[in-house]
Amino acid sequence: MALRDHSLDDRITAAAMEEFSSKGYAGASLRKIAEKAGVTVGAIQTRYPSKDELFASLVKPFLDDIEATFRGVKADYYSGAEKDLLSQLKSSMQHESDAILHLIFAHYEQAVLLFYRSAGSTLAHYFDKVVQSKIDESAAFFRAAGCTDVDETLLGMLISTQFESYRRIVADCPDARRAEQCMQSLMTYHFGGWAALFTSKKWIQGDAQHEV
């Protein structure tokens, strides 16, 4: 059996990153990637049986870190369910936004691929699934804190709007310092909305009393 030539791996992934970044998943061509890498299409398919698997391999380090981050935020959520709800929500939102911003700039090219170049791939709706998981966790968190009647439709709208901020950061703030400034303003904006809703109590009811 012929040994795999590992010297080609970096050339293939570099060429794939260039092709997917330029043309998106749908417009990218394995033939073009092979030409840029100086290999055959067969050499790529030996390593990645499909274009989709090649694309997924490029963003996997980013995805792994996202999932680890959300596991940590989830633990942070539930550790505070018995504490002052609004204060814990603010702390969790800040923790989450800081962690995601760090990940975006640790994996900036991969973040661009996931958010803006993944249409047509199996990862096209990955972030939608992350948002839905966050909605489910948040609803469970509020119930654990004593809020018995959560409007999950409104909750979904609120969290989706908050998460869209992360996508916009990738598109509009390629400079990390500027992104941090924008994120701080966005978190102030989003938390102000949450605080106003808690004060009005128009969207959530329960036995717990929430002080702002």
Residue 150 is predicted with a pLDDT of: 77
Share of the chain above pLDDT 70, in %: 85
Residue 5 binned pLDDT confidence (cut-offs 50, 70, 90) = low
pLDDT greater than 80 at residue 27: yes
Q: What is the 3-state secondary structure (H, E, C) of 149-164?
A: EECHHHHHHHHHHHHH
CA distance 187 to 128: 20
Alpha helix segments (H runs only) across the chain: 9-27, 30-37, 41-47, 51-79, 85-106, 108-116, 126-144, 152-172, 176-200
pTM: 0.83
Q: Return the pLDDT at 211.
A: 42
Secondary structure class of 204 (helix, strand, coil): strand
Q: Report the range out of 42-56, 144-158, 193-207 with the highest average pLDDT.
A: 42-56
For domain 1-49, the CATH superfamily is Homeodomain-like (1.10.10.60)
The residue among 202 and 73 whose pLDDT is bigger is 73
Distance, in Å, from the CA atom of 92 to the CA atom of 113, rounded to the nearest integer, reads: 27
Mean pLDDT is lowest, of 81-95, 154-168, 195-209, for: 195-209
Query: What pLDDT is recorded for position 1?
Result: 37
pLDDT for residue 3: 45
Q: What is the pLDDT of residue 103?
A: 93
Output the pLDDT for position 195. 82
- The structural domains of the chain, with segments of one domain joined by +, span 1-49, 59-205
Confidence at residue 207, expressed as pLDDT on a 0 to 100 scale = 43
